[in-house]
Structure 1
Amino acid sequence: MSAFVTPSEHTTRPTLQGTFGMSSSTHWLATAASQSVLERGGNAFDAATAGAFVLHVVEPHLNGPGGDMTGLFATAEAPGTPVVMMGQGAAPAGATVEHYRSLGLDLVPGAGGLAAAVPAAVDAWLLLLQEHGTWELADVLDCAIGYAEDGFPILARVTKQIESVRELFEQHWPSSAAQWIPDGRIPQPGELFRNPEYAQVLRELIAAGENASTREDRIAAARREWATGRVAKLASEFLSRPHRHSDGGDYAAVITEQDFAQSSARFEEAATIEFRGHTIAKVPHWSQGPVLLEALRILDGFDDERLDPSTELGAHTVLEALKLALADRDAHFGDNDLDLDEMLSEEYIASRRALIGERASAESRPGTVGGSSGDLPRLVTAAEFAATQSADLSSFGVGEPTVPGAGAGRPAEEPAPEAGAAAPFTAADPAEPGADETGAVRGDTCHIDVVDRWGNMISAMPSGGWLQSSPTIPGLGFCLGTRLQMMWLDEGRNAALTPGARPRTTLSPTLVLRDGQPVIALGTPGGDQQDQWQLLLVLRLLVGGYTPQQAIDAPAMHTTSLVGSFWPRTFEPAGALVEDRLGEDVIAGLEARGHRVTRAGDWALGRLSCVTRDPETGLLQAASNPRGAQGYSAGR
């Protein structure tokens, strides 16, 4: 019998079950597009690619073709070998600490072309399709082109995000105003919105391969067109003109056509650990993926009762394990030669586990790996940062959320409505547009999971290139992303701004295997929270015995006691954000242990989705996040 709190039998929606194929994503249109590909004979990789290009169109405030992505997949032919889809572009050749410092910058700006890594998401999806798909590119892109040309019902969250940056667009980024505020009017929720310029970009990718003799060669031609054609030319020319950035300065970007031409997505080996009879696969330490691996290794040494996030002891233990793993991320991770095997070794993990006491830590405590204790930046709280700023920063879209929108959280001492009673389910938005206490307008991320009847499985995290990231490029219909804000303007630090190096991304999908077979693909948007919310799901699935939908519906929490990955890179000591449904007794117990608890509301944290497969029976399952009433699963 599990030591976990018994989950509710009543979920917000069913865990889908079937044997043919399952798709789950952060937007119902992407899920529907993916499932339609499965229904017409495509495999999981055809389906995921089709869904991903739809996400570019219908969730433009959360991802775009000018952004990045990471993925994890396993094929039916080699099921025991999880593979990383590396779609994180590197810093351009001109992105040097010396140049940025010469502009008077202490941090890479959170918005504007100086923060743009070379976009790699499109190339990564095309590479996956080329190597592991079965469909023609034209067929895969059909749904995305249709929504871009004929229109899609625009989300209320998109219109709110446009409203939050309207002043910036109209005063400083006129090309963005022309794209997102046509004729001076912000579109209304549900209104059909079109992006014909992006549709033309996709048609040009298809046209590039018209004379090639094989499907693979046609996709290879599309990849060359993306890297050397009109996209590279227009983007580099347009962003070379000075434009407003998030610090209030006007600068020219450094990205060039040559940067585009020299960039290429690739496949890499996954980082893995064993946990409770399962193999957990993550993107290596150039991402934040090993945070989940380290946290699980720490927690694996405790009894099951200390692993339940729904109890005071479990929530405290989980939060403290996450702080230790995140401190190692902040001090050691990056596109470097970190010895991850040493960091995940039993000796090192035991030393980390021993640091968890009965009280909440308010410090960042990285360990020593390879003789190095790492290098933490000066820890600055959001309030301290805001007090130093003279510029009006309220109109800049700079990163993924730490809290669920401006003012959404409230101190634990302020009672919830109907205090003491669990509120009914409401579709709260976990990433409500608006400015936080630093003045930053936050973006977020997308997620998609697919499994097919043959056993192919993929988990992928498209992000970046939000409509509020940098000025829209005329003729393309999208902007470039801002992932370089995760790099430091200090040459002696890990994750320092270095030409050709990848920023230490937060994009962090997960693949779980058992006995050499992929059994779960999962993930969530949320920046620094991605691996935190995924940890809750993994514990509830693998230790608590929850069904997928029960695990996603269960109350969530995360620590804010970390160095923020997004500008302005703040730290909130001992901070914990919790859903009110965690319960008054648990919240009070966490406070008594020294956690600085902020309530987020009953349904506010996490946008998890997952698909599963039982290799023995062929049973497939899928579940998705009810928060925000936007993520959906489909399958049969």
Structure 2
Amino acid sequence: MLTRPELRGTKAAVSSTHWLASAAGMAMFDLGGNAFDAAAAAAFVIQVVEPHLNGPAGDVPIMVHRAGSGRVEVVCGQGPMPARATPEEFRARGLSAVPGSGLLPACVPGAFGAWLLLVRDYGRLPLADVLAPAVHYAEHGYPVLPKAAEMIGSLEELFRDEWAESGRTYLLDGRAPAPGQRLRNPALAETYRRLLAESQAAGGTREQRVDAALRAFYEGFVAEAIDRFTTTARMADSTGRRNGGLLTGADLASWRPVVEESVSLSYRGLSVHKPGPWSQGPVFLQQLALLEGFDLASMGAGSADHLHTVVECAKLAFADREAWYGDPQHADVPLKTLLDRGYADERRALVGATASGVLRPGSPDDRAPLLPPLLDHDAVPDEPSWLLQLDDGVPAVVRRTAARGDTCCVTATDAEGNVVAATPSGGWLKSSPVVPGLGFPLGTRGQMAWLVDGHPNTLAPGKRPRTTLSPTIVLRDGAPHLAFGTPGGDQQDQWTLNFFVNHVDFGMGVQEAVEATAFHTDHVPSSFTPRRARPLALVTESGRDRAVVEELRRRGHEVHEVQPGTLGKVCVTGRTGDDLVLAAASPRGQQAYAIAR
């Protein structure tokens, strides 16, 4: 029994991780916009209403299919590390890893620039129309999500005593807001307004006005405020000390978002597209290449064979992620071989009858893999309480149990055949102090880079840290079929894989596939500090057949059952075979929302 209907329409579809964002996106079609305008408007609203999970200074991969092109492109909104960011710089500070919070791990803000590029080059509405809903919610307020209220509550002491600008932004009379309480961010509203004012003052074409807003952010008043803050402030972070930052205005001025070709693989007759190895996107394709050699349909959805096979293939694919992924502009990533059918055949032979607890990367092109050593991590002091939160880089309230990452998702499809999928993240309220006068914090994606020499993901100036963000677009015979993504940190490409296999191999409708009982493995180290792993863990939502759970345990899996409806928030839009638009959204978390018209 579905909790929500699968939506279909003839004009447009939007699905995102917040109902206000989905509504804002759909409103763009009434102004004459397309799917790209809709996705950008939704994303700007999400920067306001999900501040615990993302912000303007965060990062985002935006996957786009322009109607009739037969191609999928990726707008890279992952900013690089600053020019001063070297392993030696961190080691000189007595650090063996990049911290997960504060000013030190800050990258160049990529999200805002990427969305502006989408509006300029793919959309057709004025920037003022696309930004208007976000300005409204920042100025007039929005109801605080329960998870946001919980996170602010866990950091209340930090915001009062150390991160004063964060306190002014997120606390009400010195206290955390209650769930559902109205929260405003006037400084962010003013930042948006000033960007729009400088855009309008520049005159010229629509595209030239968007370029003026880009300059105002990356070379003008935003960059100046960030430079002033990171180069003069000393702020508490997860090291337990007060540190300044490495990011400067020059780093922002030298960067602009770029458009790249997607990476793709054919699976069961569908063309599946992902971002490159600066994300974890290709790991989705590697899993598909392995699974293609199994008859999943005959195993039956939810069977022990199904779960065991998917989890063991995930372990192999993610082990390759750990050894081989990084920014291909700075590292020799053997991606062609990693996605080769022959390589997948070799790796598939490692899938055995019992669970593997060993991280086993392959040797593409006969190259020896390098797995950075996991560092011993000292226990975090109980006081102050916020140190426990900052010590773990995930955007979630952490308790002394395994943590789970989160982020956001936006997808949109229109009747013309334009499709977009994006997973905005970074710059969340727990990551870094709010920059005075701007209303948002910096991102801390630098925590995902290694300080170990010789690894594809070793930190370096101007290099993108390998991120977890990973939206997907699927084409069928060159035409758009599905666009989807989910929050979830390292688990994104497991939870969306569940959805995709449910739909393609088990024949479920998209809403049924979204709602099906989810699972994943915690086999590989987390990409977030402090990089914990549980090599034999198989995490599943409860409610499965007890015989299946016991059989998985017999095969050596350490099965951890969690509450139903807690793993992922998959959002989907797409087109049916008869040219209807479709949309689905996960009921998990009670905030994702899909609209079709």
Q: TM-score, normalised by structure 2?
A: 0.96
Task: Give, in whole Å, the separation in 2 of the partners of 1:478 and 1:37.
Answer: 25
Name the CA distance, whole Å, in 2 between partners of 1:307 and 1:280.
23
Q: Secondary structure at the match of 1:451?
A: strand
Residue from 394, 397, 404 that aligns with 1:400: 394
- Counterpart position of 1:385: 377
The 8 Å contact of residues 113 and 257 in structure 2, kept in 1 or not, is answered as yes
Aligned length: 590
TM-aligned CA deviation for residue 386 of structure 1: 5.1
- Residue 405 of structure 2 contacts residue 490 of structure 2 at CA under 8 Å; is this kept in 1? no
CA drift at 1:396? 1.6
Which of 333, 337, 344 pairs up with 1:338?
333
Distance in 1 separating the partners of 2:134 and 2:299: 42
CA–CA distance in 2 between the matches of 1:387 and 1:224?
44
Q: Corresponding residue for 1:14? A: 5
SS in 1 for 2:583: strand
* Alpha-carbon distance in 2 for matches of 1:323, 1:391: 37
Aligned residue number for residue 153 of structure 2:
163
Change in 2 beyond 3 A, CA 1:200/1:388: closer
User: In the TM superposition, what are the counterparts of 1:103-502 in structure 2 within 5 Å?
Assistant: 103-210=93-200, 211-240=202-231, 241-305=233-297, 310-335=302-327, 336-379=331-374, 385=377, 387=379, 393-396=387-390, 398-400=392-394, 433-437=397-401, 444-502=406-464
1:407 equivalent in structure 2: none
Contact 2:391 2:530 in 1 (8 A): no
* C-alpha deviation, 1:377, in angstroms: 2.0
Q: After the TM superposition, which of the residue ranges 105-114 and 576-585 deviates more from structure 2? A: 576-585
Give the match's secondary structure for 1:582: coil
SS at match of 2:214: helix
Equivalent of 1:625 in 586, 589, 593: 586
Q: Distance in 2 between matches of 1:168 and 1:185?
A: 12
Distance 2:365 2:394 in 1: 31
Uncovered stretches (5+) of structure 2, i.e. residues with no partner: none
Distance 1:139 1:486 in 2: 35
1:391 CA drift (Å): 7.9
Q: Which moved more, 1:202-211 or 1:621-630?
A: 202-211
Contact kept, 8 Å, 1:398 with 1:469, in 2: the verdict is no
Deviations 1:441-489 (A, max 9, x none): x762100110011010000010000011111111001100110000011
| 1:415 aligned partner | none
The one of 489, 493, 509 aligned to 1:527: 489
- Consecutive unaligned residues in structure 1, runs of 5 or more: 1-9, 402-430
* 1:47 equivalenced with 2:9 (yes/no): no
- Matching residue's letter, 1:56: Q
For residues 211 and 298 of structure 2, the distance between their equivalents in structure 1, rounded to whole angstroms, comes to: 50
Q: SS of 1:238's equivalent? A: helix
CA deviation profile, 1:532-558 (whole Å, cap 9, x unmatched): 001111111111110111001100000
- Closer, same or farther in 2 for the Cα pair 1:307/1:173, shift >3 Å? farther
How far apart are the structure 2 equivalents of 1:310 and 1:386? 39
Q: Which amino acid aligns with 1:337?
A: D
Letter paired with 1:16: L
Letter of the aligned partner of 1:394 in structure 2? L
Letter in 1 for 2:460: T
Q: Which moved more, 1:570-579 or 1:88-97?
A: 570-579
CA distance in 1, matches of 2:110, 2:564: 37
Shift, 1:154, TM fit? 1.4
More moved, 278-287 vs 241-250:
241-250
Q: Secondary structure of 1:325's partner?
A: helix
Write the deviation string for residues 406-430 of structure 1: whole angstroms up to 9, x where unpaired.
xxxxxxxxxxxxxxxxxxxxxxxxx
- Partner amino acid, structure 1, of 2:592: G
- Percent identical across equivalent pairs? 44
Q: Secondary structure at the match of 2:259?
A: strand
Match of 1:405 in 2: none
The offset of 1:156, in angstroms, is 1.6
Measured against aligned partners, the alpha-carbon deviations of 1:501-550 in whole angstroms (never above 9, x if no partner) come to 10101000000001011110011010000000011111111111101110
Residues 381 and 388 in structure 2, CA contact (< 8 A), matched pair in contact too: no
Please state how far the C-alpha of 1:135 moved relative to its aligned partner: 0.2
**Is the alpha carbon distance of 1:187 and 1:151 closer, same or farther for their aligned partners in structure 2, counting shifts above 3 Å?**
same
Cα pair 2:170 2:183 within 8 Å, conserved = no
* Residues 73-128 of structure 1 deviation map (CA, whole Å, 9 limit, x = unaligned): 101141x1000110000000011110100000011001011111100100000001
Shift of 1:388: 7.9
User: Per-residue deviation at 1:183?
Assistant: 2.3
Q: Residue 377 of structure 2: SS of its match in structure 1?
A: helix
Of 578-587 and 370-379, deviating more is 370-379
* Deviation of the 1:309 alpha carbon: 5.1
SS in 1 for 2:424: strand
Computed over aligned residues only, the root mean square deviation of the Cα atoms, in angstroms, reads: 1.6
Distance 2:192 2:391 in 1: 26
Q: 1:305 to 1:250 in 2, by over 3 A?
A: same
SS of the counterpart of 1:518?
strand
Quote the offset at 1:492 in angstroms: 2.0
Q: 2:230 is matched by which residue type in structure 1?
A: L
